[in-house]
Amino acid sequence: MIAAVNINITKVERSKLKDINLENIPFGKYFTDHMLEVDYEDGVWKNAEIKPYQPLLLDPSTAALHYGQAIFEGVKAYKNSAGEAFIFRPLDNCKRFNISAERMQMPQVPEELFMEGMRMLIDLDKNWIPQQKDHSLYIRPFMFSCDPMIGVRPSDKYKFMILLSPTGPYYSNPMRIYVEEHYVRAVPGGVGYAKAAGNYGAAMYATAEAKKKGYDQVLWTDAFEHKFVQECGTMNVFFIIGNKVITPGLETGTILAGVTRDSVLTVLKEMGFEVEERRLNIDEIITSQKAGELKEVFGTGTAATISLIKELRYKDYVMEFDVDSWKTAPAVKDKLNAIRYGQTTDNHGWMLKV
C-alpha cells in the first residue's frame, strides 16, 4: 500500500466540465479543473498542493528555460463500464521518471508522492475521465529546474507537477514512415533512454522534413551506420518477420523503454509468439519484405497504444502494406484495451484503482 503523504487540496469554485464535450476531444488540448504542484527546496519536497489549474508565475531566468533540466511522463487512466477509474501501470512510469531524473541530475521524486499525488488528483477530477470507446484520461507528470539564475549547473530548486487531459482516440490512421538516415534522435552515452524534454525539441526538425516529403513520421536509425532501426517518432517499433516478432533491444541506451512496449511484448508472448529484443538492420527488413516474410510493422506508445505502419520508405525503396489484412497488431490492441477498460481479468496487476 502507498504511505500517506501530506497534500493540501484547494478545490475550484465551479467546474469547467459543464462547458466541455468529452466526446472525441482532441489530445492534449483541454485540462481538468485541478493540478498537482510540489516544490523541491533545501533538499526536500515541500508545499505539495492540489489546486485549480492555473498559469505559473516564473522568473524569466528560470533555469529550465535556458538549460533544459526538464523531464516528463505519459500515463493513462480509464473508466470501466461500472464507472470505476483505473490507472494503467503508473508505478512503471514512476520508476522511469526517476531514471530520467537521475540522468538529468535532478532529484528523485519519492514513489509515494508520485503515486498518491496522481491518485488523489485523478480522484478529485474523475468526472473528467471520458467513458466513450477508446477515450481515456491522459496524465502528464513533469519536473523542471527552477533556480532563478543564469549559470550552467544543476538547480537547487525544482517543481514536480501533474496535469490531467481528457482525450479521445489518437493517431488512429495507419502511418507513412520515412526511414531517417541523416538526423539522429539518440546516441550511446546520450539521453535517449530518458524522457527528457530536449529530446522532443531536437526531433522536430527531422520530423518536419519528413512531413514536407509527405510522410507522417520518421523511423530513427542508429547514429553511426544509419542502418539499425531505433524508434518510430516517439513510439517504440515492432516488426513481425515470419513467425517472430522483433523490436530493437534496450542495451544501447538509445531507446526509450516504453511501458506499452513491455505490455505488447508480454501479450505477444502469451499469444504464443516468439519475440526477440535485438539489433535490427534495415537491410534485414528489406530482405524479409522481398521474400514475403515481413508481415506487420507497428509503433507502440501510451498516446496511441498501437499505430499501424502502412508504408515504409528507405532511400528510394518503398514498402507498402495491406494493413487491413493484418491480424496480430489489432488483436494485441484489443487485448490491451480489454484489460484497460476492465472487460477482462487483469492477470498482470497492471491496473491500479483510483
Ligand X SMILES: *Cc1c(COP(=O)(O)O)cnc(C)c1O
Q: Which of 100, 167, 217, 234 binds ligand X (CB under 6 A)?
A: 234
Residue 107 vs 301, nearer CB to ligand X: 301
Nearest approach in angstroms of CB 207 to ligand X is 12
**Is 230 a binder of ligand X (CB under 6 A)?**
no
Please report, in angstroms and rounded to a whole number, the separation of the first and last CA atoms in the chain: 13
Residue 62 vs 247, nearer CB to ligand X: 247
Q: Which of 145, 236, 254, 289 binds ligand X (CB under 6 A)?
A: 236
In whole angstroms, how far apart are CA 163 and each of 33, 64, 72, 87, 209?
9, 18, 11, 14, 31
C-alpha–C-alpha distance, residues 111 and 84, integer Å: 23
Burial class, 274, CB count within 10 angstroms (exposed 0-12 / middle 13-18 / buried 19+): exposed
Q: Which stretch binds ligand X (CB under 6 A): 23-31, 59-67, 238-246, 256-264?
A: 256-264
Q: Which stretch binds ligand X (CB under 6 A): 124-132, 153-161, 232-240, 274-282?
A: 232-240
Nearest approach in angstroms of CB 86 to ligand X is 17
Residue 166 vs 301, nearer CB to ligand X: 301
Q: Residue 258 phi/psi, 5° resolution? A: -65, 140
**Is 259 a binder of ligand X (CB under 6 A)?**
yes
Q: Residue 264 phi/psi, 5° resolution? A: -65, -40
In whole angstroms, how far apart are CA 81 and each of 152, 168, 340?
51, 17, 11
The count of other CB atoms within 10 Å of the CB of residue 325 is 8
Residue 49 vs 262, nearer CB to ligand X: 262
Nearest approach in angstroms of CB 304 to ligand X is 9
**Is 231 a binder of ligand X (CB under 6 A)?**
yes
Burial class, 89, CB count within 10 angstroms (exposed 0-12 / middle 13-18 / buried 19+): buried
Nearest approach in angstroms of CB 220 to ligand X is 9
Specify the amino acid at residue 32.
T
Q: Cell 488540448 identifies what position?
A: 29
**Is 302 a binder of ligand X (CB under 6 A)?**
yes
Q: 33-92: which residues touch ligand X (CB under 6 A)?
A: 74
Nearest approach in angstroms of CB 74 to ligand X is 5
Q: 187-216: which residues touch ligand X (CB under 6 A)?
A: 195
Residue 62 vs 199, nearer CB to ligand X: 199
Burial class, 328, CB count within 10 angstroms (exposed 0-12 / middle 13-18 / buried 19+): middle
Residue 174 vs 301, nearer CB to ligand X: 301
The count of other CB atoms within 10 Å of the CB of residue 153 is 12
**Is 248 a binder of ligand X (CB under 6 A)?**
no
C-alpha–C-alpha distance, residues 333 and 328, integer Å: 9
C-alpha–C-alpha distance, residues 110 and 128, integer Å: 27
**Is 141 a binder of ligand X (CB under 6 A)?**
no
Q: Which stretch binds ligand X (CB under 6 A): 3-11, 174-182, 204-212, 296-304?
A: 296-304
Contacts with ligand X by CB under 6 A: the residue count is: 14
Q: Which residues pair with 46 in a beta bridge?
A: 39
**Is 32 a binder of ligand X (CB under 6 A)?**
no
Contact positions vs ligand X (CB under 6 A): 74, 195, 231, 234-236, 256, 258-261, 300-302
